[in-house]
A and B are shown apart, each in its own frame.
Chain A
Amino acid sequence: MHLGLTLFEEMVFEDGQLVNGSLLDYQVATIKDMPRSFRSVVVEVPHADGPFGAKGAGETGALTVAPAVANAIEDAVGVRIRDLPITPEKVLRALAEKDGATLPRDSSL
């Protein structure tokens, strides 16, 4: 569904070493992160090179989640986040920068 990559998932490296290489530290979406409701809209466009116009249907649709979330955030608070995952910290930094302030950098970001 791409929600994990949009909101949580990031491999963090320090001095060339992966520091969150287990499921205790690398956060993936749980059932509690699932939206209350969501609707899938299928846009059918025949694929010229596929058998009978068919093409893969699964992960292609996942690409839409990140821009949808980024658009929603921009619509709500007026800042555009351009790299994933879109964490609360990144939104806070963007809001501060918009107001001309700068938050201190932390190596754990």
Chain B
Amino acid sequence: MKREITLNINDRDETLVVDDAETLLEVLRDRLKLWSVRESCGVGACGSCTVLLDGRPVSACLLLAVRSTGRDITTLEGLGDGQLLHPIQEAFVSERALQCAYCTPGFVLSVKALLDEIPNPSDDEIREYLSGNLCRCAGYADILRAVHLAREKISRAPVKPE
């Protein structure tokens, strides 16, 4: 069945008609052209399609769009301000924490949720939190360094409250 829903995505309301069976991933990518949200495994095992739902990381491939109404949805596009990169993105760039970069949007959003929840995470906490995001180029060492750098950047200059 098709129905009209309103989704709050990156602080903007988007009203559109979706099928009940459409996943949030399909709506974000195919309808709203938010290309940072990427499909890889399609079964919630890889973390490529990670988005934030009320600040918590979820796999958009496992979530129906009609179940996502009334929640704050954040994709990578909502992280920077359009001009400046978010400190986490800056950290990924300066630590070169990407190779092919397919997994990067998912990682960046998971790191955002991690640092919001645990501002000063230990190495073990970072590993535990990010173990749901797969990187096939295995750039994990660089990603770990990027998380530590992002943590420093954020603690030095706190981002404005959201």
A-side residues, CB < 8 A to B, are 1, 3-4, 22-24, 28-32, 34, 38
Contact = CB atoms under 8 A, between A and B. Distances in A.
Given A29-B140, A31-B130, 20 more contacts: A1-B138, A22-B45, A23-B40, A23-B41, A23-B45, A23-B134, A24-B43, A28-B134, A29-B138, A30-B133, A30-B134, A31-B133, A31-B135, A31-B143, A31-B144, A32-B128, A34-B127, A34-B141, A34-B144, A38-B141
B107 to A, nearest CB: 9
B138 to A, nearest CB: 4
Interface size on B, as a range, is 20 to 34
A30 B43 CA distance: 17
Interface of B: 40-41, 43, 45-46, 126-128, 130-136, 138, 140-141, 143-144
A31 B131 contact: yes
B45 A30 contact: no
Contact of A4 (B40, B45, B131, B138): B138
Secondary structure class of chain A's binding surface, majority of residues: loop
Contacts, number: 42
Contacts of A32: 127-128, 131
B41 A30 contact: no
A34 B126 CA distance: 12
A17 B130 CA distance: 32
Nearest to B132: A30
A1 B46 CA distance: 18
A94 to B, nearest CB: 27
Contacts of A30: 131-134, 140
A3 B140 CA distance: 12
A23 B46 contact: yes
Nearest to B107: A31
Q: Which 3 A-B pairs have the closest CB atoms?
A: A23-B41, A23-B45, A1-B138
